[in-house]
Amino acid sequence: MTGPFRTAALALALACAAALPAAAARTTLSIGFQQEPTSLDPTADATAAIDGMLGQNVYETLMAVTEDGRVVPNLAREVAVSDDGLTYTFTLHTGVTFHDGTAFDAEDVKFTFDRAMAPDSTNPTKGIFAPIETVEATAPDTVVIRLKQPDGFFLFNLAMGDTSIVAPESAATNATQPIGTGPFRFASWTRGDRLVLEKNPAHRNAAEVALERVTFRFIADPAAAAAAMLAEEVDAFPGFPAPELLPQFEADPRFRVVVGSTEGEVILALNNGKAPFTDIRVRRAISHALDRQAIIDGAMYGRAQPIGSFFPPHHAAYVDLTGHYPHDVARAKALLAEAGVAPGTELTLRLPPFPYATRSGEIVQAQLAAAGLTVKIEQVEWGFWLEEVFRNQNYDMTIIAHTSPNDLGNFARGPSYFYAYDNADYTALWQAIRTEADDAKRFAMLQDAQRFIADEAVHGFLFQLPKLSVARREIVGLWDNAPVLEQPLAGVRWNG
């Protein structure tokens, strides 16, 4: 074909192409999640998955934390702090509504905090609210919070899911029908399968939200998680449970694999209120019996960093205490004998249904056996773990990741907390840490706290939980690291 005929054909082809609709941008996202929560109310349940799915998506807080760890205003438009560090004045966004159409204002903030501080509160982290003296709604868009003493973590804590702002009209039913002010609203929850969110068109930043619908698929089994990703039934898995399969995804051009950081300290938790763990020699023996690198290699295929205390290695105040209890089976046996623990003494290790826990548990069982302890493993469901281990302290040992930031305060919560650890000197140290506004001084005391907890061998400290993420390469905006439990989705979109 030559001359005018070819030119005419090309023009016709271009015209036809122009008439075709452009490929629509993808606006749905399917995310794999290992853990299904037992409740959808972060102000009443400690399950990390609630914040992971709903925090800053369905629920919002006065402040928020960015991926690089900065604390920024959220439902608060701005915040002013008095010179003495005791009075915080929050100016709120106006025109905000909850997903059921009720208006958001300062009275909702006061209701949320009064409810969390009430004697009958079921808030899982009531300690966040302990420094508060009063909360006043001085105007529809103004909240004034006065503290009993300065709190260096206060604004950071106001970004946690435990401080999610809820309304009196819907607070009682948030466990199954969550109502917040966030960029996404609850659509449905099919227990054992999935939870679905949809875009909130009334959100103040709705124009910037690209996704119309997000589906969280609950897939605990590592093999099933990998199969779902490979079959493209799931677009992203931010907490991928199968580290041994990461090389397969790293070699597949469809996917992006990231090994990021989290705040999650994985510990062999010991019930300090129950014999034989009331004896520090037994706790130290267990620390000497543990070979962290073998646990990391066997359970995480080398994709984790060992820890020697209860603190994330990426933090500026981190102290490397991994050498505090070198792996020494002979020393472990000697300490157990000194404490009067007979060879063959039986202990129970109750494991929640997470791959990092179940895989680590089998290795720990063998390592403690080498030191002369008989460990019986019990695999339990998450609801059972929350009730019997976390609430009722009905356990000898367990393996769990503590994923909240700034949680060295757990050791100052006294015998009622599931560690059953009670030490007045440590509680006084934590109180000093909380009330210190100077970063350098607070960091020095945080280092003291790490050494204190390590020396006390409160638990067996194993490794920092990595954020193993696998996602389609076209997805942008997912966080690589997890400075908090939340995974904000307002800035996530498909690129192409």
Non-local CB neighbours of 450 within 8 Å, separated by 6+ positions: 309, 310, 311, 317, 318, 319, 321, 408
Contact 41, 49 (CB under 8 A): no
Distance CA 51, CA 239 (A): 14
Whether residue 415 is predicted with pLDDT greater than 50 in this model: the reply is yes
Read off the pLDDT of each residue in 469-477 and give the average, rounded to a whole number.
97
pLDDT band at 2 (very low <50, low <70, confident <90, very high): very low
Cα gap 27→475, rounded to integer Å: 11
Contact between 496 and 474 under an 8 Å Cβ cutoff? The reply is yes
Tokens of 19: 């008439």
Cβ-in-10-Å burial (0-12, 13-18, 19+) of 344 comes to exposed
Nearest one of 133, 134, 89 to 110, comparing CA atoms: 134
Look at residue 127 in the predicted model and tell me its pLDDT: 85
Question: Domain-by-domain residue ranges, the chain?
Answer: 62-168, 184-262+467-494, 265-464
Structure tokens at 132: 């508060």
- pLDDT exceeds 90 at position 20: no
Q: Count of alpha carbons within 13 Å of 421, Cβ hemisphere only? A: 22
d(CA 96, CA 104): 5
Q: Reply yes or no on whether the pLDDT at 19 is more than 60.
A: no
pLDDT for position 437: 82
* Mean pLDDT, residues 277-295 taken together: 98
Please classify residue 253 by burial: count the beta carbons closer than 10 Å to its beta carbon, then call 0-12 exposed, 13-18 middle and 19+ buried.
exposed
Write out pLDDT tens, residues 425-435: 999 999 999 99
Among 316, 319, 311, 485, CA closest to 403: 485
Residue-level pLDDT at 125? 87
Long-range contacts of 69-72 (CB under 8 A, 24+ apart): 69/483, 71/155, 71/156, 71/159
Residue 479 CA: distances (Å) to CA of 163, 219, 284, 418, 467: 22, 20, 37, 31, 10
Confirm whether 184-262+467-494 and 265-464 share one CATH topology.
no
Q: Which CATH class is domain 62-168?
A: alpha beta
Q: Which of 106, 82, 242, 53 is nearest to 154 (CA)?
A: 82
Task: Tell how strand 28-33 and strand 132-139 pair up.
Answer: unpaired
Q: What percent of the chain has pLDDT over 90?
A: 90
**pLDDT value of residue 24:** 63
pLDDT tens-digit profile of 371-407? 999 999 999 999 999 999 999 999 999 999 998 889 9
Contact 208, 491 (CB under 8 A): yes
pLDDT at 29 over 50: yes
pLDDT at 10: 36
Average pLDDT over all residues of the chain: 93
Average pLDDT over residues 289-312: 97
Ramachandran sector of residue 40 (left: φ over 0; alpha: ψ -120 to 50; beta: rest): alpha
Q: Are 286 and 333 in contact (CB under 8 A)?
A: no
Q: How far apart are CA 153 and CA 86, in angstroms?
A: 13
Say if residue 63's pLDDT is above 70: yes
440 has pLDDT over 70: yes
Question: What's the distance, CA 434 to chain centroid?
Answer: 21
Other CB atoms within 10 A of residue 474 CB: 13
CATH of 184-262+467-494 among 3.40.718.10, 3.30.200.100, 1.10.260.40, 3.40.190.10 = 3.40.190.10
**Is 157's pLDDT higher than 90?**
yes
Domain 265-464 class, CATH top level: alpha beta
* Band of pLDDT at residue 316, cut at 50, 70 and 90: very high
CA distance 385 to 122: 17
Average pLDDT of span 330-340? 98
Take residue 234 and report the two structure tokens written for it.
């799931």
Q: What CA–CA distances, in Å, run from 433 to 26, 422, 446, 453?
A: 47, 17, 7, 14
